[in-house]
Amino acid sequence: MAPSVQQHLVWECEAQGVEERLPAVVEEISRVRADMGYPALISPVAEVVVSQAVANVASGDRYLIVGQDLKDYFLGLFGDPPGPADPEVRRLVIGTEEPITVRPGDVLEPMLEAARRRLVRHGLGEPSEETLLEFVLFPE
């Protein structure tokens, strides 16, 4: 497990008050990875796996609590899993929703057009290219 994943694991355990159950969480990480089709433990999927493992241990019930990132993973927004995901877990997480069948980038709204509409909606008129790029890069 990469140091950044270990750091996230410790942080999540402390945040959920289960630091004394770290061995159980580490074991649960293996089960969650299997359920997800054995994704590599690299960012951002590593954080999704760790967060779900901690939630499972903290709640005492597997997949009672699921985050939006795990739903997005099972909907295909992180791409195809490297191996087959557990169909029962998929059903628990996304219900009857169907995973996407296209490239994940194809379902995203074009960023520049979304930013342009947001600026216009906030009463800033039609932005120049420079203003638009500044807003996309530095939205605050």
Q: Where are the domains of the chain?
A: 3-101, 109-137
Q: How far apart are CA 78 and CA 100, in angstroms?
A: 10
Confidence of residue 131 (pLDDT cuts 50, 70, 90): confident
Query: What percent of the chain has pLDDT above 90?
Result: 65
Q: Which pLDDT belongs to residue 58?
A: 96
pTM: 0.78
Whole-number pLDDT of residue 72: 96
What pLDDT is attached to residue 110?
A: 83
Alpha carbon distance 83, 86 (integer Å): 10
Assess contact for 53 and 32: CB atoms under 8 A.
Answer: yes
> Residue 39 pLDDT > 90, yes or no?
yes
